[in-house]
Amino acid sequence: MLIGREKEKQLLQDTLTQEYSQFIAVYGRRRVGKTFLIREAFDYNFYFQFTGSANISNRKQLAKFRSALKEQGLVDVASSITSWMEAFAELRRFINQQPTGKKVVFFDELPWMDAPRSGFLSELESFWNGWASARKDIVFVVCGSATSWMMKKIVKNKGGLHNRLTRRIMLEPFPLRLCEEFVKSLGIIFTRKQILEAYLIFGGIPYYWSLLQRGNSLPQEIDRLLFSKKGEMHDEFEMLYASLFSSPEPYMRIVALLAHKKKGMTRKELIEAGKFIDNGRLSNLLNDLEWCGFIRSYSVLGKKTKSEIYQLIDHYTIFYYTFLIDNPGKNYWEAIQGTPIYNTWCGLAFERGCLWHIEQIKAALGITGVLTNEYAWRYDGDKTLGLPGVQVDLLIDRNDGIIDLCEVKYSKDQYLITEAYHKDLVRKESVFSLVTKTQKAVHTVMITTNGLTRNAYSGDIQKEVTLEDLFR
């Protein structure tokens, strides 16, 4: 059963009613559900479909393509196919034999077909530009997990495929609401707090959630999937980056550095710590990671430089570097429940979870239609001015004359604002306004799991957002 994805499914189905041929690219990180979406949207009815294979020679790839043509109806297929020019010629011949009507052609894992010196991309361009686009009956769907390749070679192609796409779908991970729907569809009973914890480990990747089994507690399932050597996700980290990037090592160096820096690192800090060369190659690495949803870039409020800070936001990657990299052994997650290391992780991970739910936070604040920018903000302090250091978990800079300083707090019960913490909040507002010289009104917003305990200090909070709001 397809959970969510209503807009994406409708967009794909609408291509069947368009007057002219359609060229659609669907991309997104590994395991996010691209292939499943496409199959469900077209009810598994394809005139031709082919899935590229990783790490095989171009000769073997072409042999598999020939076999696919024969299996799907081209009985007189050529005895051998030795180039992509011949492969696409046979595909055109096969399509020409089909009856009148829309013909959906689906190429899955497209980047794996583009072996070095194979000539695949130029023949793909020729197939679309010189033949399919001149017809009215072709729905050509391409898909791939190697997001950086899809972006460079298809979506932002500067050659023959420039601006040739008629549709493109960047498939995003599930938000908490859809994770909850998915869990229910599996017949698993979890509280929203437990769903949140699973989300802070798996992110919104449907395949990871599909591995959960009924009958066990969440800690038992985390131990089974991640910490057991026989678990389905025990080797996922290496497979994840290897599937997305042909040379994953430099990408993994970057995320390893960012994994230990909660608020992120500047480009200069990355260069110094990772001994990278400051050139276009590094820019490409960072862009690729951002396209794939592993990192985000944001500016420092008050500075003109854009994308100055790079922050790791992928839940599974951070969980790997926090707990899995040292192979702590089976039953580890059950053993640390309620311990300081577990509680610290919950707090930090909840902050990252909020970054993936900005739209839900904005809805709770009643500012869905307001243009905003989101940052983390830090000031190291100045002893000569008597100003203390300040750190803001999440800052929402609104286009309606307000800046929300969001304090994110994970707690088992309602969160209590003490006198000392209240003074800290007042100090943050004061230092922020003084340092940034903002002319906007500054509001303090609390984002908590269970809301606030009412006392003498809670009334100074302008707005509250709770875990229930994040599930909207």
pLDDT value for 301: 64
Read off the tokens for 172.
């995003």
Q: How far apart are the first and last CA of the chain?
A: 21
pLDDT value for 302: 56
Q: Measured in whole angstroms, how far is the alpha carbon of residue 223 from the centre of its chain?
A: 24
For the sheet with 390-398, list strands across it. Answer: 372-379, 390-398, 402-409, 441-448, 463-465
Instruction: Cite the beta strand spans of 294-421 per DSSP E.
Output: 295-298, 309-312, 372-379, 390-398, 402-409
- Taking every pair of Cα atoms in the chain, the longest distance, rounded to a whole number of angstroms, is 84
Amino acid at residue number 153: K
327: left (phi over 0), alpha (psi -120 to 50) or beta: left
Rounded Cα distance, 3 and 196, in Å: 18
pLDDT value for 304: 52
pLDDT value for 368: 95
The string of pLDDT tens digits covering residues 333-391 is 999 999 999 999 999 999 999 999 999 999 999 999 999 999 888 888 888 888 888 88
Rounded Cα distance, 443 and 401, in Å: 11
Read off the tokens for 204.
């919104």
Q: Dihedrals φ, ψ of 108, to 5°? A: -100, 150
The string of pLDDT tens digits covering residues 406-415 is 999 999 999 9
Rounded Cα distance, 55 and 67, in Å: 18
Q: Dihedrals φ, ψ of 189, to 5°? A: -105, 110
Q: Dihedrals φ, ψ of 102, to 5°? A: -65, 140
The string of pLDDT tens digits covering residues 61-115 is 999 999 999 999 999 999 999 999 999 999 999 999 999 999 999 999 999 999 9
pLDDT along the chain (472 residues), means of 10: 94 96 94 96 96 94 97 94 97 94 96 93 96 96 90 90 93 97 96 97 97 95 95 92 87 95 90 92 92 85 64 96 91 95 95 95 96 88 86 91 96 95 94 92 96 94 96 94
CB 49 within 8 A of CB 222: no
pLDDT value for 42: 97
Q: Write out the H or E segment, with its range, that includes residue 22.
A: strand 22-27
